[in-house]
Amino acid sequence: FAGPGMADGGAKFLGNITTRGQVQSDFGTYWNQITAENECKWASIEGSRGRYNWSGCDACYNWAKKNAGKFKFHALVWGSQYPNWLNGLSTDETKKAITAWFDAVAAHYPDLEMIDVVNEAIKSGGSYHSGYGRNNNIIPALGGDNGNYEFVATAFKMARERWPKAILIYNDYNTFRWQINEGIDLVNKLVKQGAPVDAYGQQAHDLTDMNANDFKSALNKIQNSVKNAKGEPMPLFITEYDIGTDNDNQQKKRYSEQIPAFWESE
């Protein structure tokens, strides 16, 4: 299919990520939205405490600015790819570090349009989707978790203070299949706490062998189950979509089943 032409003049967009840390010269031929695969993650920017390297993230941000594209910041809080120096810090020092990180991003990018605020915090089978709490104090630093993901809610409230107009996104994986209910539960719990969640990000890595009927049923269930504070359906972002097979016929089949459903959904 044609890339940005699908989205010309509309509210929807078709995006991709960087390639080995670079924005390809022909990126705009195919896409009108960009997300850095790794370059905007905390570990990539603040490898040493208090020292920031924005160059890779800037490349994506600047591409969007120069090409009338959209830029999504990925991600503020994640249980993986945070700086190694965070390991072993006390709860108080971890809170200071997270606050300083949010402040630094806000100072450098005050006008962000879309932000993956928290990534991969679903708790399933007794553990989180990523390494919250394994060697760090991210959870207690942000207010703990008494079964309602309070630490995630805190992060969203911190983000709203700094970016009052940005679209604040919760992002996770396996949310079409294995943890569809857990993902819906997490987002709804955040909304009930007054967390300013504007959109629900579906990584969509789990669709390679999902048949068309099950896929459409899952998509409808998510759309009908996740509501914002006004009780309205929450926008869904398909954030890391891939069909993980080298079988061209299967790729074509899944794309033809799934992309129109994504594109035509409200």
Whole-angstrom distance, CA of residue 252 vs CA of residue 259: 10
Q: Which residues are catalytic?
A: 120, 240
HSE-up of residue 143 (Cα within 13 Å, Cβ side): 13
Angle between helices 212-225 and 248-264 (to 10 degrees): 30
β-pairing, 167-172 with 123-124?
unpaired
Q: Which two tokens stand for residue 157?
A: 């409230």
**Which residues share a beta bridge with 172?**
202
**Which residues share a beta bridge with 236?**
200
Q: What's at 130, amino acid-wise?
A: S
Side by side, the strands of the sheet bearing 15-17 are 15-17, 33-35, 70-78, 114-119, 167-172, 199-202, 236-238
List the one residue out of 196, 76, 197 whose CA is nearest residue 138. 76
Reduce the DSSP state of residue 123 to 3 states and report it.
strand
Q: Which two tokens stand for residue 222?
A: 């998510």
Q: Is the dihedral of CA 152, 154, 158, 160 positive or negative?
A: positive
List the one residue out of 248, 167, 236 whose CA is nearest residue 204. 236
